[in-house]
Amino acid sequence: MNVEQLTRLRMYPEKSFVLFGTGSNDSVYARQGRVAKKVESIFPGRCHLFRVPIRFHDSAIQQKNKLSRSRGVVFTLIGAACAYLMGQRVLCVYENEIGAINLPYRASAVGLDHSRSVHPLTLLMVSDLVSELLGEEFRVKNPFLFWTKAQMCKALAEDGRNDLPPLTMSCDSPHRLRPIQCGYCSSCLLRRQALAATYIKDRTRYVVLHGNRPPKESSLHLDHMLVQVNTLRNLLDVSDEMDLQWEALTREFPVLDDIVDRSAGAESLLPIDMRGQLIQLYRTYVSEWDTVKSQIAVCPLNQCGKQQVSNRNAVNVQ
Give the pLDDT score at 317. 27
Q: Could you tell me which CATH class the domain 3-55+67-174 is placed in?
A: alpha beta
What's the pLDDT band for 136 if we cut at 50, 70, 90? very high
Give the pLDDT score at 35. 87
Give me the DSSP letters along 205-234. -BHHHHSSPPPGGGGHHHHHHHHHHHHHHH
Question: Could you tell me if 9 and 159 are in contact, meaning their C-beta atoms sit under 8 angstroms apart?
Answer: no
Average pLDDT value for residue range 27-45: 87
What's the pLDDT band for 67 if we cut at 50, 70, 90? low
Give the pLDDT score at 174. 85
Give the pLDDT score at 217. 73
pTM: 0.85
Give the pLDDT score at 287. 97
Q: Is the pLDDT confidence value at 258 over 50?
A: yes
Start-to-end C-alpha separation, the chain = 52
Q: How far apart are CA 209 and CA 39, in angstroms?
A: 27
What's the pLDDT band for 110 if we cut at 50, 70, 90? low
Q: What does DSSP assign to residue 54?
A: -
Residue 314, burial from CB neighbour count under 10 angstroms (0-12, 13-18, 19+): exposed
Question: Could you tell me if 74 and 42 are in contact, meaning their C-beta atoms sit under 8 angstroms apart?
Answer: no
Average pLDDT value for residue range 267-271: 96
Q: How far apart are CA 164 and CA 15, in angstroms?
A: 21
Average pLDDT value for residue range 78-105: 93
Give the pLDDT score at 108. 63
Q: Please calculate the CA angle 220-164-33 and round it to the nearest 5 degrees.
A: 100
Average pLDDT value for residue range 267-281: 97
Give the pLDDT score at 66. 64
Give the pLDDT score at 141. 96
Question: Could you tell me if 24 and 56 are in contact, meaning their C-beta atoms sit under 8 angstroms apart?
Answer: yes
Question: Could you tell me if 208 and 218 are in contact, meaning their C-beta atoms sit under 8 angstroms apart?
Answer: yes
Q: Please calculate the CA angle 138-143-149 and round it to the nearest 5 degrees.
A: 145
Partner residues linked to 316 by β-bridges: none
Average pLDDT value for residue range 242-262: 97
Average pLDDT value for residue range 87-100: 93
Question: Could you tell me if 207 and 175 are in contact, meaning their C-beta atoms sit under 8 angstroms apart?
Answer: yes
Give the pLDDT score at 302. 43
Give the residue with greater pLDDT, 67 vs 81. Answer: 81
Give rounded-to-5 percent helix, strand, coil for the chain: 55, 5, 35
What's the pLDDT band for 298 if we cut at 50, 70, 90? low
**DSSP-derived 3-state class of residue 160:** coil
Question: What contacts 37, CB < 8 A, 6 or more positions away?
Answer: none
The percentage of the chain sitting over the pLDDT mark of 70, rounded to a whole number, equals: 87
Number of C-beta neighbours around residue 10 at 10 A = 13
Give the pLDDT score at 54. 80
Q: How far apart are CA 183 and CA 189, in angstroms?
A: 6
What's the pLDDT band for 203 if we cut at 50, 70, 90? very high
Give the residue with greater pLDDT, 241 vs 39. Answer: 241
- For strands 17-23 and 47-53, give the pairing: parallel
What's the pLDDT band for 2 if we cut at 50, 70, 90? low
Q: Is the pLDDT confidence value at 102 over 50?
A: yes
- Single-letter amino acid, residue 237: D
Give me the DSSP letters along 172-203. SS--SSSS-B-S-SHHHHHHHHHHHHTT----
What's the pLDDT band for 312 if we cut at 50, 70, 90? very low
From the list 139, 93, 155, 137, the residue with the least C-alpha distance to 119 is: 93
- For strands 90-92 and 17-23, give the pairing: unpaired
Q: Is the pLDDT confidence value at 68 over 50?
A: yes
Q: Is the pLDDT confidence value at 155 over 90?
A: no
Question: What contacts 278, CB < 8 A, 6 or more positions away?
Answer: 97, 146, 249, 256, 259, 260
